[in-house]
Amino acid sequence: MKAELLSVGTELLLGQIVDTNANYLAGRLALLGIDCLHMQTVGDNLARAKQAFERALSRSDLIVATGGLGPTEDDLTREAIAAALGETPTVDPALESELVAWFSGRGLVMPDRNRKQAWLIPSARALPNPNGTAPGWDIQKDGKRIIAMPGVPREMTPMWESIEASLQGGGALRWRTLKLLGIGESAVEEKLAELVRSTSPTVATYAKNDGVHVRVADKAATPQEADARVAQMERAIRARLGEYVWGTDDETLAGIIGRGLEKRSWRLAVAESLSGGDIARMLMDAPGAARWFVGAVVLPSADADALEREGRRLGGDVLLVTPHGKDTSELRATAPGRTPRLEIRFRSPADGRRRALLGGLDLLRRALTD
């Protein structure tokens, strides 16, 4: 089955909102073993939306559309689908009654413009929306299927979960992402050598804000078979790069540091200069930070000794300092029984700040590794 995602809304094209729906749905399709080969985004224009659906129908078996199901004049997804399929929408009495009841239950009279949300075409059935007024459409015609859902994620996600089980994929796709620090992307690829040329599983490297990611992915007839092949490749990668791997998948450096501190009943203080408070901001977002993070001090152009003096006043069992430097800086993490250090080199203040953030967090992780 070849799938396509179609997002409707001018606000997406203007960059006013981020299309998190496409991100979510692409991941769900992958887990079902359904190949998502295309994504489209189209504004609130009937002619262009109709063309987008026609293009999707010409090349895909399944089209999953989000957005444009509201009651206003610029909500045109129903009209576009009907035009692309050559069908005429009419008001469904049962849907209309449900809409009237939804409004009356809140002490309101339904505006006439909401009546279009009760439309159906002959090849569509309505998808219930317990979280809003816009039912979805599930259309099956000539071997093609269109699933149209609201663009509001809190309405779209439950609707998708209600219909997901009806989709049949061609196997199962599984993946694993290993996250590395202390090594560049080209060096990672060099160490992996022939592994990056594997076609089952595939191995790909990416430079990210939190280091280098290595994604292992495989598609097989069953989830168990795909999982086994991904796990085998992960072991091979760890054998070559294990010292640099700090986490997997959705793990964050701050979360791993927090777990390490709680495991030892230690508390952390941070004294920053080169990193400019970025480490403290990231740590504050970690789950349970209030239990192990005592606070931070940020001083401009401060050396290690000045930072250590100020940091000690915060208390804590572990202290990380990121001294100011012109083109080098030696970071250090002082913990009970250990004081690992890391020298970083940088080309500009912005580069130094980024390297101090990642280097400091990785130094903390290493200080908490048994």
Buried b (16+ CB within 10 A) or exposed e, 323-354: bbbeeebebbbbbeeeebebebebeeeeebbb
Q: Cβ(183)–Cβ(246) under 8 Å?
A: no
- Maximum Cα–Cα distance for the chain, whole Å? 77
pLDDT at 169: 67
- Which tokens sit at 233? 């490749």
pLDDT at 370: 65
Say if residue 244 is in the same domain as residue 349: no
244 and 257 housed in the same domain: no
| Domains of the chain: total | 3
Q: Residue 165: what pLDDT?
A: 82
Q: What is the CATH number of the domain that holds 197?
A: 3.30.70.2860
Domain boundary among 228, 248, 268: 248
Residue 6 shares a structural domain with residue 131: yes
Domain shared by 26 and 142, yes or no:
yes
Query: How do the pLDDT tens digits run along the chain, 370 residues long?
Result: 899 999 999 999 999 999 999 999 998 898 788 889 999 999 999 999 999 999 999 999 999 999 999 998 899 999 999 999 999 999 999 999 999 998 999 899 999 889 999 999 999 999 999 888 899 999 999 999 999 999 999 999 999 999 988 886 667 778 899 999 988 899 999 999 999 999 889 999 998 888 899 999 998 888 899 999 999 999 999 999 999 999 999 899 999 999 999 999 999 999 999 999 999 999 998 989 999 999 999 999 999 999 999 999 999 999 999 999 889 999 999 999 999 999 999 999 999 999 999 999 999 998 998 6
Which residue range(s) make up the domain with 321?
Answer: 253-367
156 and 21 within one domain: yes
What pLDDT is attached to residue 172? 75
pLDDT value at residue 319? 97
Indicate if 11 and 127 belong to the same structural domain. Answer: yes
Q: What is the pLDDT of residue 294?
A: 97
Q: What is the 3-state secondary structure (H, E, C) of 292-304?
A: HEEEEEECCCCCH
**pLDDT (0 to 100) of residue 92:** 93
Residues 319 and 197 placed together within one structural domain of the fold: no
Last residue of a domain, one of 223, 248, 273: 248
- 120-157 residue pLDDT tens: 999 999 999 988 889 999 999 999 999 999 999 999 99
DSSP H helical segments within the chain, as ranges? 10-13, 20-31, 46-59, 77-85, 93-104, 153-163, 185-192, 223-241, 253-264, 278-284, 289-292, 304-312, 349-367
Q: For position 268, what pLDDT does the model report?
A: 97
User: What pLDDT, on a 0 to 100 scale, did the predictor assign at position 167?
Assistant: 87
Q: Look up the CATH number of the domain holding residue 280.
A: 3.90.950.20
What is the pLDDT, as a whole number, of residue 170?
66
Residues of the chain by 3-state class (helix, strand, coil), percent to 5: 45, 25, 30
Contact call for residues 49 and 8 (beta carbons, < 8 A)? yes
CA distance 310 to 306: 6
- Integer angstrom CA distances of residue 70 from 112, 148, 326, 352: 13, 12, 56, 48
Q: Are residues 142 and 188 in the same domain?
A: no
pTM equals 0.66
Segment 181-217, tens digit of pLDDT: 988 899 999 999 999 999 889 999 998 888 899 999 9
> 20 and 87: one domain?
yes
Please identify, among 198, 215, 248, the residue that sits at the C-terminal boundary of a domain.
248
